[in-house]
Structures are given as structure tokens and as C-alpha cells.
Structure 1
Amino acid sequence: MTNGSITGRVRRLMVESPGSVGGRARARRLELTSSIFPDLQDMSVIDLGGTVDAWLTAHVRPRHVTVINIEDPGEAQDWITPVTGDACSAVATLVEAGLAPSCDVVFSNAVLEHVGGHANRVRFAQSVNDLSSRHWVQTPYRYFPIEPHWLFPGMQFLPVAARTRIAAVWPLAHSRAESLANARHEILWTELIGMTEMRDLFPDSRIIRERLAGLTKSLIAVRSD
């Protein structure tokens, strides 16, 4: 068995297959979302930073979903409207697209850590609150011992130069960086946060700790009223 096939199997076991650790966590998040918003199937949702494909495989189908992503969010469906744009300025993005800048609930999964620093996280949180009084925003927890994007222990605590070198060669990354410059770009656009900043960004929300093996793996800001 080649090294590539071994690492591929490890990554599928950890995060990519439906039965993986990550796959089961995603399923639990949707179950949690449905329990917090039991009428989700009757609601309009704006997904900040998501994809059409993610909703097509979800076990719950809201009345309508608008997906905003700075990259291609996918193809439109009869109940999903994709919009290419910046989630940190979601209201302006929707108005420019001729869509209503409001919804029943805002949803975002593993996006907050990729928006480009604290100032943009503040803008992102403001967008969430501007769109709806209800939201569900998840982000990986900085102090979980394994960095979730590269599956490398403690990587988030290393200097940028060290993280860049790891990202350039580490076989368990989601995708291998094409160059050292590309690896550095991915590193600089990935910044995990802790509980203090999450509470500061969403002071009126309940912060739920998602745990794995008793340790906090991610944080979820929820407001359901």
C-alpha cells in the first residue's frame, strides 16, 4: 500500500467519510441545529460561507436557503439560491444581487476562522446580527490539541514560518499546497479563536462547546429568540 493511499484512508477516517469523526460531528451539528430550531423546515436560511452541495446532503431541508460564498457556492436549486460575495458584507452583497437582506435564521459552519483577522471577524458577526436575530455560528476551538484543517498536533501554536513548512508537505492536509507561497497563503487565512473572542463577537448568544473525548473541539454561537 502506498503512502498516498494510507494518508488518504486516514483522512477519510478522520474527517471526510460520512462515518468519520468529522462526518459524525457534522451530523450531530445538524441534529443540534434542528433541535434548537425545530421549525427549520419552514424557515428561510442564509448560510454564510457554505455551499449548495452541503445542503443537498443535509438531513433537514429548510423552506429556502441562500448561500453566500466568496468562491463559487455551487449551482442553484429550486430551494437554494447561491450568491458569490463576501460574507463579511452580506447585507450589501444581497442587496447588490437583488435579494432581501434578511432571513429567519443565519447559519455558518467553519467559516469564521477564514475571514481574514479580527477586524473581519467583527464585520462577519455584525453581518450575522444584521441579517437576523437568530443564528447558529460554528468555528473550531483554538485550544483543541489537533489543528483541524491539517490534522497536525499543536500546529496552530507554531510560528507562521513553521506552519508554512508543515502545510507545504504534511500529507493529511485537505489538499496539498502547490507551492510554499500557496501554503503560506492558506496559513495566514486560517486563524482559530478561543472562548473569550467568541463571547466578545457574540455577546448576546449562548456559546455551546462541542466536545470530542471530553475536550472542547469547536464553539457554536446560538441565538434562537
Structure 2
Amino acid sequence: MNGPTTLWRTALLVESEWIEQVAQVVRLGPHLQGRVAIGVVVWVVFEQAICTEKPSVSACNQLGKQNEWSIVNIETLYAVVGRIFRTKRLEKFVEHFGVNGQTRILDVGGTPFNWTLLTVRPSVILVNISPIAATELEQVVADGCRLPFRDGEFDIVFSNSVIEHLYSLENQQRFAAECQRTGRMHYMQTPNKWFPVEPHYITLFIHWLPKRIRRRLVRHFSLRGWLTRPSQRQCDRMVEEIRLLTADELKGLFPASAIWPEKFLFLTKSFVVAKLKPDL
């Protein structure tokens, strides 16, 4: 068979059951199913593979639990499809920061998964507001906006797609200040507000609209809404929680840091904020 049918079967190799569920949810015919499947797979691949792996908790807030009626766990899917891309990104992190077995890293709002991808084994402490099960890494239960560590206690403070989940600019300012205070160097990654695809809702343009409109659209006009079937209360919480940042805002939060754009199709989809040299 040719055309969309072939593409459809190719997509099934990535996550057959999940793709079939997507087709059922949007109720498209067989010819459009192939296009939808490839579109979804392409999005999952280029979407920020690192920044979308989320623990059940994140610094400064408690992320909502997934709806029990959800038909797919999006974070799990990202972890499966994005492993190769995430590994490459972490290899660059190791290279730029000279990470080795003696490096002390504080991962604020993170999970153990990233650290299993490295060939080196730095000393990592995870900080979340609730403990994460089944990890050998040291954990500290704390608020990322009020870290219980000394100034400069860690070689690197690492944070991956957490700062946009803090509800307000004031919380983001406190979070940024704490990460800079406790780490001699730091690495932050976060989506770009002006990239047309919003990686949490998984849809186009909605994040540029006022909150009152977003609340009405997230459930029925986003891929995440179709797949996870959130309640209106969960949609409201997601809209309140997520505050994407611009390059200028990041420069204001991290004035001594480099801001590296991450590109897709010539557009900046995300930023890495990096301080590579400790203060003397």
C-alpha cells in the first residue's frame, strides 16, 4: 500500500496503541489518519524532549495529577520517543560544563531519568516538594523558591522546564535568584513564549491568547485536551500555572548568564540559560 496508509503504519511502529487512540479521539477517516499520526510523531520528536519529562511534583508548586479518565500518559510518551534527542542534549551539557564524577549538581524540580542517560555519574541531589519513588539519587523535599542550601554549595544548579510552571513573574524571580545563589554555575532550559506551538497544551497559538479565552479552548482545541480529557478545573489550573518566558525576561532574571536559543525550522523553540564559569 502507498501514501497515507504507509505513513500510518510507519507511525504505528513508534507507539501503535497510542496513535490508534488519537485517531479514535479525533474521529478522522483513514486517509487523514496517516497525516494526523505523522504530525503527532513529528511534534513529539521536535518538542522539547528534555523539558517535557515531568515529575509528579515540581519546584514551587504541585502539578495536578493526571485525570483518571486520561487515555494516554503524555509524559511517558515523550520519554519513549525523546530519549535519543534528550541524550544528545545532555551530552552537550556534560561537555560545556565539564561534568565528571566529582561534580555536585542540584536538580531543582527534576526526575532521575535524565541522569541515567549520562556516561559520567556526577553527585546529584533532586529537589521536589514531594519525594519521588524508586530512585537511588539523594532527595531533598523543599520549595524551589526557598532552597535550604548555602550560597554556592553546588557546582551546578540544573533545572529543566520548571521555571515556566511557577504561576507568576514574582515566583519566577524568586526561583531564579535561589538557583543563582546556591550554584556556582547553572543550566536552565525553558520553552520560548513566541514559538507558535505550546508544548504543554500541544497546540498552536493558544498560549498567546488571554487567559479567559485559553480556559475555554484548552479542553477541546488542543491535543492534550483530546488525549487527557481534563476537567474544567484542571484546565483552569494549567492555564494559571504555566507562564512562558521571552528572551528579554530571561535576561532580566539571569543578567550574568548566556541565553542560547534552540531552533526548529529556523524558529526559536526554547532557550538554555547557562552560566559556565563560577564567580571568583
Aligned to 2:191: 140
Query: What does 1:50-199 align with in structure 2 at a 5 Å threshold?
Result: 50-56=110-116, 58-77=117-136, 80-90=137-147, 92=148, 102-170=153-221, 172-173=223-224, 176-199=228-251
Distance verdict in 2 for CA 1:68–1:36, change over 3 Å: same
Residue by residue over 1:92-127, the C-alpha shift from the partner in whole angstroms, topping out at 9 and shown as x without a partner, is 2x58xxxx9821111011101001211111111111
Q: Distance in 1 between matches of 2:139 and 2:41?
A: 28
Q: How many residues align?
A: 215
Q: Percent identity?
A: 27
Distance verdict in 2 for CA 1:32–1:25, change over 3 Å: same
CA drift of 1:131 comes to 1.0
Q: Are the equivalent residues in 1 in contact too, given 2:193–2:246 (CA < 8 A)?
A: yes
Aligned to 1:44: 104
Q: Are the equivalent residues in 1 in contact too, given 2:261–2:269 (CA < 8 A)?
A: yes
Distance verdict in 2 for CA 1:87–1:8, change over 3 Å: farther
Instruction: Tell me the amino acid that sits aligned with residue 125 of structure 1.
Output: A
CA drift of 1:4 comes to 4.0
Aligned to 2:89: 29
Give the secondary-structure state (helix, strand or coil) at the position aligned to 2:114: helix
Give the secondary-structure state (helix, strand or coil) at the position aligned to 1:133: strand
Distance verdict in 2 for CA 1:160–1:30, change over 3 Å: same
Q: Which runs of 5+ in 2 are unaligned?
A: 1-19, 27-32, 45-76
Q: 124-133 vs 58-67, which deviates more?
A: 58-67
Query: What does 1:199-218 align with in structure 2 at a 5 Å threshold?
Result: 199-218=251-270
Instruction: Tell me the amino acid that sits aligned with residue 86 of structure 2.
Output: R
Q: 199-208 vs 161-170, which deviates more?
A: 161-170
Aligned-residue CA RMSD in angstroms?
A: 2.7
Q: TM-score of the superposition, structure 2-length normalised?
A: 0.68
Residue by residue over 1:28-61, the C-alpha shift from the partner in whole angstroms, topping out at 9 and shown as x without a partner, is 32122112112344311100111123323x2344
Rg (Cα) greater in structure: 2
Q: Distance in 1 between matches of 2:166 and 2:37?
A: 28
Q: Distance in 2 between matches of 1:54 and 1:9?
A: 26
Give the secondary-structure state (helix, strand or coil) at the position aligned to 1:104: strand
Aligned to 2:58: none
CA drift of 1:169 comes to 3.0
Q: Distance in 2 between matches of 1:23 and 1:222?
A: 22
Q: Which runs of 5+ in 1 are unaligned?
A: none
